[in-house]
Structures are given as C-alpha cells and as structure tokens.
Amino acid sequence: MDRILIEICRYLIIICMSVYTIQCFAVFRFSNEYDRKGIYLRQNFFMVAIHFMSFLSLYAQDGDIKYFKAYLIQQIGVLIILAAYKTVYPRSNSLIINNMCMLLTIGLIILTRISYAKAMRQFYIIMGSAAVTFIVPFIISRIRFFEKFKWIYVAAGLGSLVAVLMFSAVVNGSKLNINIASYTFQPSEYVKIIFVFAIASILARNHQFKDVIISAVVAGIHIMILVLSKDLGSAIIFFVVYISMLYAATRNVVYFLAGFAGGGIASVAGYKLFRHVRVRVTAFLDPMGTITNEGYQIAQSLFAIGTGGWLGMGLGEGAPNNIPVVAADFVFAAICEELGVVFGMCLILLCLSCFVMFMNISMKFEDPFFKLVALGLSVAYIFQVFLTIGGVIKFIPLTGVTLPFVSYGGTSVAVTFCVFAVIQGLYIAKGRDNKKPYVPTPDDFKTENLNIVDLERELNDNV
C-alpha cells in the first residue's frame, strides 16, 4: 500500500509542478495584477499540494512522525511569508512572491530528504532572513536618493572583499567565508548587491569615456580581489553583471566585445595560474576517465540524473548522499534523481520566469539608476542559476556557486531574499509612480474645444 501511495504521489508531484510552471508564463498574457489573480491562486494551490504530497511520500518510506512535524512547521512558515507580503505590500508582484515561496518549498523538500537536521536549520535561516529583509521593499519604494552613495558602495564592497582576502581561512583552495563566533557567512554574496548599486550609480547619469573607465577600474578591483581569494565563481558573476550593465547604460557594442575579449584572456590566465581551476576543467572534459579523482563529483551527479530519468525514482528511493556536497552545489542532481528530469526542467523554467519578470520591471523604468539596478540584479540571479545547473549537468566546468533559494546555505538564502525584496520594492515604486493623480493646469482650460465632462472623467479616473 505504501509503495502504491509513493508512486501516485510521484506522478502527481510532476503534474502539479508542470501546471505551476505553465502558469508562471501565463501571467504575461495580462497587463495588470488584477487580471492575473486567478492564476496566482492556482499557483498557491499547486504549491501547497506539492509540499503535502512530498512529505506524504517521505512519511510512507519509513513511517517517522518527524516528517509530519517538519511538514507542518515548514508549510506554516512559507504561508506566513506569502500572506505577509501580500497583506503588507498589496501592490507587490505576486508572481515574484509565489515563485520565491515555491523555490523555498522545493529546497526544503529536497533538503529534508537529504538531511533532516540541515533542512530544519535552513528553515530557521529562511524565517530569519525573511523577517530581516521584509522592510527592504518599503525602503526601496520610498527612498529615491540611493544614487548619491556611490563611493560608499565602492568602499563597503571593496572593504568586505579585502577582509575576506586577509582574514578568511583557505577551504578547498579558496578564501570564501568569515567566521564570527559560531556563525559563518560569505561576504561576496552580499557584495553582489552593493556592487550593482555602485556600478549603477557611476553609469546612471553620465557614461562618457571617463565614466566608463572609472566603472571599469571599480569592477576590475572587485574582480581582482575575488581572483586573489580564488573565489572564481563569484568573480565570473561580477564580470558578467558589469558587462551587462555597461552595455545597457552605453549601448556601445565595442565595450561589450572588448569586455568579453578581456574575460576570455583572464579565463586562460586563471587556468594557467590556479591548480583547482585546472582540476575542474579536467573533470569537466573527462569525468569518467578521472572518476576516481577529479571527476568523482560530476560523474556521481551524472549517474544520479541518468538514474532518475524523466520521471524520477521517487522521494526517498535514490541515493543523493553519494554525491559530495549534494545539499549545496549539487542539489539540482538530487532533485532530478528523485523527482525527475521533467521536474528539473520545470524548475529551470520557474527561475527563468523570475528573470523575465525582473527584466520586465527593469524595462518599465525611465530612471536610469533604478533601471540599471533592476537589470544588474536580474543578470546576477539568472547567471548564478546558469552556473549552478550548468556545472551539475556538465554543460560548463564547476564553479562552486549555489542554486538560489534551493541549495543549503544561510548566506545564499539571505542575499537572495534581499535581491527579490529590492526588485519587489522597485515594482511597488513604479506602480506608485504610475498612480500619480492628474492635476489640471491652466493650459487645460485654454483649449478651444474644452469638454468639461471628459476633463472631469479623466480627473476622477486618475484620482
């Protein structure tokens, strides 16, 4: 009986995830949030259903009551986040909120399967991060002088990275984290947001050659410190974000091409200079030939994805713990093994729908500073998704970055919350700008064919 229940849940989870993903793109058929309301409600239903059926499967595996305890705590927590955003920020974008909660739900499901202790720790980090960043949309939507602090952004970002370079211990060949008491955090994650604000401040109003040089120097120093710390995954993200923002600000193809040419040269130099880069490239080129050494991680990842197939083995039926660092860097492989490649493809499309909505918000801004901030954060988010999944499926060499909201890691979760909150604040600010009341001027009454009825109607509609 338990086996039948697990199989039924396995197929229903895939169906619900597929329908949820289709709804993610169906929202773009409508121009306003009111017309999308039915879609959002259906997404909420499928989100809750996926979470329930997943934990029902885990409970059916070994009958441990701790899974129902975890289910109740996690479900209540996610619903609180969902309800809090929609209540306090009624003008917020519901697709961003729903996708944020869906990604958190998927992460908690797979982490509970991998390690109950890690999943519960991740849950408490999620709730704390949600509480701390909950004020961010209000701040972003109300304050309009962030552009004035460009050198503060530069100093804060560089200071944080230098602190890592000087005081961080070397772990797996890289300097990534700073330990304070019993807490560990990765400053480069926070600096991504500061870096976007810094480059947007420099390029927003003036993008003459002098401004381009200043921005290039600032970006180059950030990236160089990351390279010296051997945090090459973050260095690549910073580089791509900078090139994207530079092109968006200047529309100069020469800068774009020159930047990528420089990036190519730097990649070759990194391969020559750093042994762990050569190890990752070797594993990428021939994981099966080096399966006992460099290629072990990626080989196990490919075995897991292949074993899961299109529909997965079912939660609890695979062996995700055979993959080193599965809860962080290789969580996508665990998802594909137990929930299926179809589910994994839906997850990618879900992340892509977030990016499309982020870019849609960016394009609606006339203010160049906020336009660049939204664009920079959008690129940082989707490129991190690309690096993580691309490394797991052997599309690119491994970079050691996490899958936002899904992978285990406190700093990654907190920073991703902040990114989504900033974008949400920008969306609310733009909506408020569009709702500014119409105030008639004396010129309106000098029109030869004055229509008082039309004027009164327009005034009432806008107010």
Using CA atoms, how far residue 169 sits from 10, 74, 344, 393, 459, in Å, is 43, 34, 35, 30, 63
Positions in the chain whose pLDDT score sits under 50: 437-439, 444-450, 452-453, 455-456, 458-463
Question: In sequence order, what are the residues at sequence separation of 6 or more whose Cβ sits closer than 8 angstroms to the Cβ of residue 227?
Answer: 235, 266, 270
**Contacts (Cβ under 8 Å, ≥6 apart) of 363:** 371
Token pair 């499926």 is found at 393
* Predicted confidence (pLDDT) per residue in 413-462, tens digit: 999 999 999 999 999 988 766 655 444 555 544 444 445 445 445 444 44
Q: Kindly give the pairing relationship between strand 183-185 and strand 178-180.
A: antiparallel
For residue 445, what pLDDT is reported? Answer: 46
Cα angle vertex 420, ends 419, 421, to 5°? Answer: 90
Q: Scan for tokens 């995700």, then name that residue.
A: 320
Q: Looking at this protein, which amino acid is placed at residue 245?
A: M
Q: What is the dihedral of CA 302, 304, 310, 312, to 10 degrees?
A: -170
Under a CB-based contact definition with an 8 Å cutoff, are residues 92 and 136 in contact?
no
| pLDDT the model gives residue 181 | 62
Tokens of 385: 């998704």
Report how far residue 313's alpha carbon sits from residue 258's, in angstroms, rounded to the nearest whole number.
47
User: Would you tell me how many other CB atoms lie within 10 Å of the CB of residue 256?
Assistant: 16
Q: How far is CA 110 from CA 160, 162, 225, in A?
A: 32, 35, 34
**pLDDT (0 to 100) of residue 443:** 52
Residue 199's nearest CA partner among 172, 222, 170 is: 222
Looking at residue 360, what is its pLDDT?
93
How would you class 12 by CB atoms within 10 Å of its CB: exposed for 0-12, middle for 13-18, buried for 19 or more? middle
d(CA 383, CA 64): 39
* CA–CA gap between residue 265 and residue 268 (Å, rounded): 5
Maximum Cα interatomic distance, the chain, rounded to a whole number of Å: 86
User: Which sequence spans correspond to the domains of the chain?
Assistant: 128-434
Residue indicated by tokens 């920020």: 89
